[in-house]
Amino acid sequence: MKKLLILLISMYSGLLIAQPDHGNFEEKKKKMDAMKVAYLTSELDLSTDLAQKFWPVYNELDKQIDDLRLVTIRQMREHIKAGIKIEDISDDELEKMMLVRLKNDEKIAQLKMAYHKKFIDVLGIKKTAQLYHAEMTFARDLMRRSRDGKRDKERPRPED
């Protein structure tokens, strides 16, 4: 049953990522978050009681990280919509943009360190280690499916 759930999540995530971006980032994010919840719950084998304690903590961290990452994403989107390329941006503005991103990356690392103890308090050390591994595996699988989906699109199709 666990393998079937993982297979279904993996197939669904591949379809989601392989689709062209039609601008509905929030909807895609919600779907990917739901897949991540199912995947992590399965991988960590969370009981109902443990899940009720874990997910509020995890979601709190995830929200804070998303807020920091959205600063960079919004900035990139604005430039893309305006047709601005990197070559068109002054060195000073590029430096400011890069520093904002690096500072946000630093804040994300600090948040992860702060929540590490919270995860251990809720899950214990072994399940916390499993959590980190499962997050990495989930992200790697999404990237692989995205890459494979792009390759499939680039292959010539046989003519009818």
What is residue 157's predicted lDDT score, i.e. its pLDDT?
A: 52
Q: By C-alpha distance, which of 144, 136, 147 is closest to 36?
A: 136
Residue 151 or residue 124, greater confidence: 124
Q: Where are the domains of the chain?
A: 25-137
**Distances from the Cα of 123 to the Cαs of 42, 61, 110, 116, 138, in angstroms?**
14, 15, 20, 10, 19
CA distance 134 to 152: 27
CA distance 10 to 39: 9
Q: By C-alpha distance, which of 139, 135, 76 is closest to 104?
A: 76
pLDDT tens figures, 78-125:
878 888 888 888 899 889 888 999 999 999 999 999 999 999 999 999
Cβ-based neighbours of 145, under 8 Å, separated by 6 or more: 10, 13, 14, 17, 18
Residue 108 or residue 158, greater confidence: 108
> Residue 160 above 50 pLDDT?
no
pLDDT tens figures, 30-67:
888 999 999 999 999 999 999 999 999 999 999 999 99
